[in-house]
Amino acid sequence: MGKKKQFPLRIEQSLYEILERWAADEFRSVNGHIEYLLRESARKSGKLPTSQKNKEE
């Protein structure tokens, strides 16, 4: 996987807490889980390039 872009993300505390519990259920960090969710969303919408479809975290 290529170099990762860093950027600040501001979200409501209640949403962060949901993501934190969800990530723990999936044995991921919050950051890793957010990246996974974004990748899955991009894949499902057909926006993810074919070369990226099979890559995991």
For residue 18, being part of any structural domain is answered with yes
Check residue 55 and give its pLDDT.
Answer: 57
Check residue 16 and give its pLDDT.
Answer: 98
Look up the domain containing 36 and give its range.
13-45
- Helices and strands per DSSP (H, E), number in the chain: 2, 0
Write out pLDDT tens, residues 1-57.
Answer: 679 999 999 999 999 999 999 999 999 999 999 999 999 999 999 998 876 555 554
Check residue 56 and give its pLDDT.
Answer: 53
Check residue 31 and give its pLDDT.
Answer: 96
For residue 57, being part of any structural domain is answered with no
Of the candidates 36, 34, 27, which has an alpha carbon nearest to the alpha carbon of residue 57? 36
- When divided into structural domains, the chain yields a total of 1
For residue 35, being part of any structural domain is answered with yes
For residue 3, being part of any structural domain is answered with no
For residue 21, being part of any structural domain is answered with yes
Check residue 57 and give its pLDDT.
Answer: 46
For residue 7, being part of any structural domain is answered with no
pTM (2 decimals)? Answer: 0.78
